[in-house]
Amino acid sequence: MKKIILASKSIDRGKLLNNALISFDFLLAYVDEEKYKKKISDPIELVKELAKIKVANARQNLSNEKDVIIIAADTMVELNGEFIGKAKDDKEAFKNIKRLAGKSHNLITGIAVSETNNPKIIVDYDTTVVKFLDLSDDDIWRYIKTNEWRGRAGSYSIMDKASLFIESIQGSPSNVIGLPLHKLFKILKEEFDVNLL
Amino acid sequence: MKKIILASKSIDRGKLLNNALISFDFLLAYVDEEKYKKKISDPIELVKELAKIKVANARQNLSNEKDVIIIAADTMVELNGEFIGKAKDDKEAFKNIKRLAGKSHNLITGIAVSETNNPKIIVDYDTTVVKFLDLSDDDIWRYIKTNEWRGRAGSYSIMDKASLFIESIQGSPSNVIGLPLHKLFKILKEEFDVNLL
């Protein structure tokens, strides 16, 4: 099996790969998200572009290594055409969850895959619809106190406490966590001759 | 918070509660599934009945304890009206996954909740549709070798390696793992005055 690098600082993405028994290393991939958010208004184009830039940057940093697979991803939470980003404090997290409660929103993840000694970069995306139960203000504050919202797009994680109020999803569950694993499986198999199973 | 007992031997159900930061104890709840499978052909009625019997049995074993919440659940995988059960060996597990590959199937979980000093038993169920990617025989054998199929209805776990070939789901993700947490949250809040958040 080739060495795999996840160009991301997301613990959730790492957990997904760990649970799927895939060994990998983390590499921090910096990209100025705000700059691209101003330039690209379509969420799908935005997450694809951000994932692609992360992979391209990681490729440069790894130019001395051979046969290393690089994976990057970028996730946005979208409600009625607006992005729900990472909250900066508990008040903003409360506001985010209150907006999402009782409704459906979209989780959109862009994924980019490349290899150090191969100029090809494959870019794809996936969308999952997530529906929350109705929540009282008291429920939301109880949730905010877990601190699970910190550093997470949309201020929640489907894997943890928020699973109590996720009524349903339509689409890939791993995509909600930030990495559509079925897409990764197909891209690596079809484009890079790597079978993750 | 009242003490919670999970009347189940399922590690996956335990993980779900752990991830949702709910503290609980396991209690083995024996029920002769085969006997009820012969009596009840409708999968929804079957999983509801099995969950109810598990809770009722656990109540009897805990009759000396006060204010203890008991939760039980039973999950079936159904494809075109047939149950896909737990595999007894790797050949049967291979056959199960081959039947599910490239298609959609139903995950049906019955859930029952009760309390030691309260005669009420609340029973509910949830259905989630799961769609697998197409898989080659080689892919399936690679999967079988992980041993993830052991002890699992349908011979897979959405949380682990099988996440690579789950294309989409429609419904509750926790229900696929064996316990629809949003239903548990609502039942405990509305019927037993317990807020899991």
The span from the CA of B118 to the CA of B101, in Å, is: 45
The span from the CA of A159 to the CA of B171, in Å, is: 15
Question: By three-state DSSP, how is residue A128 classified?
Answer: strand
Give the per-residue pLDDT at B30: 79
User: What pLDDT band is residue B92 in, cutting at 50, 70 and 90?
Assistant: very high
Q: Where are the domains of chain A?
A: 3-192
Give the per-residue pLDDT at A21: 86
Q: Do A165 and B146 touch (CB under 8 A)?
A: no
Give the per-residue pLDDT at A31: 87
The pair phi, psi for residue B125, each rounded to 5°, is -150, 170
User: What pLDDT band is residue B37 in, cutting at 50, 70 and 90?
Assistant: confident
Give the per-residue pLDDT at B10: 87
**In contact, B161 and B143? CB cutoff 8 Å:** yes
Let me know if B74 is a catalytic residue: yes
Tell the CATH topology of A3-192.
Answer: Maf protein (3.90.950)
How many C-beta neighbours within 10 Å does residue A149 have?
Answer: 24
Name residue A68's beta-bridge partners: A3
Nearest one of B36, B143, B152, B150 to B84, comparing CA atoms: B152
Give pLDDT tens digits for B159-182: 889 999 999 999 999 999 999 999
Q: What is the average pLDDT score of chain B?
A: 93
Pairing relation of β-strands B118-132 and B104-115? antiparallel
| Cα nearest neighbour of A144 on chain B | B197
Asked whether residue B11 carries a pLDDT value surpassing 90, the answer given is no
The span from the CA of B57 to the CA of A194, in Å, is: 49
Q: Do A173 and B186 touch (CB under 8 A)?
A: no
From the list B143, B168, B173, the residue facing A158 with the nearest CB is B173
Contact of A21 with chain B, judged by CB distance below 8 Å, is answered with yes
Give the per-residue pLDDT at B99: 96
Q: What percent of chain B has pLDDT above 90?
A: 74
Contact of A167 with chain B, judged by CB distance below 8 Å, is answered with yes
> In chain A, which residues have pLDDT < 70?
none
Residues of chain B contacting residue A185, judged by C-beta atoms under 8 Å apart:
133, 164-165
Quick one: average pLDDT of B48-75?
Answer: 93
Contact of B172 with chain A, judged by CB distance below 8 Å, is answered with yes
Give the per-residue pLDDT at A34: 86
**In contact, A114 and A182? CB cutoff 8 Å:** no
Nearest one of A140, A129, A137, A128 to A93, comparing CA atoms: A140
Give the per-residue pLDDT at A6: 95
Residues of chain B contacting residue A195, judged by C-beta atoms under 8 Å apart:
138-139, 142
